[in-house]
Amino acid sequence: MKPEKVFKRYDIRGKYPEEIDNKFAKLLGKSLGTFVAQNLQKNIVVCRDNKPSSETLKQSLISGIMSSGVNVIDVGIGPTDYAAFCGKKLEAVSVEVTSSHMPLEFNGFKFMYPEGNGFINKDLYAVQDIFRDREFQEGVGHVSKKNMKDNYTDSAKTFARQYAEDWDKKIVVDSLGGTGKILPGLLRDLGAEVIDLSKGRKGIYHDPPAPQPKNLDELKQAVIKNSADLGISNDLDSDRITVYYKGRFLKGSEVFCILSQLVKGPVVASIDTSKVLEEFLEVEYTRVGDPFVMDHAIDIDAELAGEPNGHYSFTDFVPYNSGILTALIISGLDINKSLERIPDYAVMRHSVKVERKEELLASLKQSIDDENILSDLDGIKFCRNNAEILVRPSGSSQKVRIISESPDPESAKEVLEDVRDKIEGFRQKG
């Protein structure tokens, strides 16, 4: 077992059962239990998504946690923000067993603090060190079961009513078979007519359960066929949302801009978020990754935080991404009116495979005049020819990602191509 293969930047994930199995889950439980006992002195809430392998992994995880002397509260099955919500209410660390938007051959684990936000790198690495060194605390913990779903769903509906009021709409929902299956009932409670694409289907019916437009043709066609007002989809653990409205899938930054019109600034966003968000309020940027975003949101008491990949959090509910709460709020808004307020910006993206990401980024930075560099928080963000460009290392593969943005589409395209060619030149040299 090599923990460095499955301990990622933000969570733990790997192929099941080749890289993550029941033995791994028990050792992970021992490691997390030891860390919590030594540093946080809290109980641990455990939840899972609705994939069959998540149940056996969850039981093994619980067994490992209890062997470290830490008590476990099993809250059943639900979205990751349900686990975080329960942890916050019970003042406990929380864990979600889930592969999130990954292909179904994967599984994994997400850890959240008692405040509800995800573990930052330092603490995730500390758990990894305990796992690797096998220096476990021993004791006898106990497990109890607590169903908090009514508390969670009632709180989400009450919270949504603070921001939206008109759910008299026809809405198509595609949960892809994941934990978002609870969403249609909540929307109906608020007054919506709902067409539930998961109705009559067992289990998870899309692999991967990722709400990307390329996976959502059924949602699109159902909206068109039924003359629905909008379509909504979540991933397996419902921490992401995609919205289909008036013949197109809304960009992540557009959804962020719609939500930002509901709050007072500042908001916290990852560095790859569109500059157009700044048209509405003050924005404070972080590295890409929800633990960084939420950690800073808590630090400055931001009401809203998120990323353009479909992650959004109203932090007073819980400082974790909630595709369920976001769906309830956005479906009760006048989306067209909100979109009309958003200026047009062209955003173009490209990825380049590279072996030595950091060396390449260092070479690129040296080629840019200092006065044009806007940020080196996560990669390099700089301006050129009426465009802003972000070049950052991928957190999951040997690639660098390029994002070019400008009010002028030609400028965005021209600068992206120029930067892409420069990176290709650096790559070939070295």
Bridge partners (DSSP) listed for residue 96: 47, 110
- DSSP annotation of 181: G
* CA–CA gap between residue 247 and residue 223 (Å, rounded): 9
Dist. CA 146–CA 12, nearest whole Å: 25
DSSP β-bridge partners for residue 73: 45, 144
Q: Are 75 and 47 in contact (CB under 8 A)?
A: yes
Contact 328, 156 (CB under 8 A): yes
Residues annotated as part of the active site: 100
Residue 105 in contact with residue 179, Cβ under 8 Å? no
Question: What dihedral angle (degrees, nearest 10) is formed by the CA atoms of 323, 118, 26, 137?
Answer: -160
3-state secondary structure of 163: coil
DSSP 104: T
- Write out the E strands in 279-379: 283-286, 304-307, 311-314, 346-353, 373-375
**Among 32, 325, 70, 299, residue whose Cα is nearest residue 187:** 325
What is the C-alpha separation between 182 and 167, in angstroms, rounded?
A: 17
Say if residues 235 and 320 touch (Cβ distance below 8 Å). Answer: no
Q: 73: part of which helix (H) or strand (E)?
A: strand 72-77
> What is the total residue count of the chain?
430
Compute and round to an integer the Cα radius of gyration of the chain: 22
